């Protein structure tokens, strides 16, 4: 084999691997039987089930964890035609950008110590002087 044909073979093999990976991913995402949103593992108080005016529906579960803070999981979207897809298994809040109404630059709240559990602060009326708590 010449150097040129070696490159063609490597390119073909790479393309073939990418195609197989795409087929596997497609089968994994779309070839399964439809998943039932909110299978019952989520406490009723932590379920969010919202149907939009368009007929689309979002279903998810949330919880407050000691280190991650607010965590959303088992996030499903149902199209107006009734097709349900799992959009995301889990998303943890790792950082918050706080924008204040006084015109100052936004600040970042990082989760070095965690955003949940004992790290949460209770808001007081003084924390929201021009709004409603």
Question: What mean pLDDT comes out for the span 75-90?
Answer: 94
Query: Could you read off the pLDDT of 85-127 as tens digits, one per residue?
Result: 999 998 877 666 677 788 888 776 665 556 666 666 677 777 7
Please give the residue that has the higher pLDDT: either 37 or 107.
107
Q: What separation in angstroms does the CA of 7 have from each of 10, 19, 89?
A: 5, 18, 40
Q: What is the pLDDT of residue 71?
A: 86
Whether the model clears a pTM of 0.85, i.e. scores above it, the answer is no
Q: pLDDT band for 18, please (50, 70, 90 cuts).
A: low
CA distances from 116 to 8, 69, 70, 92, 109 (A): 54, 4, 7, 11, 13
Q: Which among 90, 107, 89 is positioned nearest to 98, based on CA atoms?
A: 107
Domain ranges of the chain: 1-32, 95-128
């Amino acid at each position: 084999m010449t150097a040129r044909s070696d490159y063609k073979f490597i390119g073909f093999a790479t393309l073939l691997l990418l195609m197989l990976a795409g087929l596997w991913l497609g089968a994994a995402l779309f070839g399964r039987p439809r998943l039932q949103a909110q299978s019952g593992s989520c406490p009723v108080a932590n379920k969010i089930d919202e149907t939009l005016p368009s007929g689309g529906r979002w279903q998810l579960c949330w919880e407050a964890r000691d280190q991650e803070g607010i965590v959303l999981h088992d996030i499903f979207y149902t199209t107006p035609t009734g097709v349900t897809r799992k959009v995301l298994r889990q998303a943890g809040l790792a950082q918050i950008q706080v924008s204040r109404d006084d015109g100052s630059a936004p600040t970042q709240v990082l989760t070095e110590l965690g955003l949940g559990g004992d790290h949460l602060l209770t808001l007081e009326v003084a924390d929201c002087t021009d709004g409603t708590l």
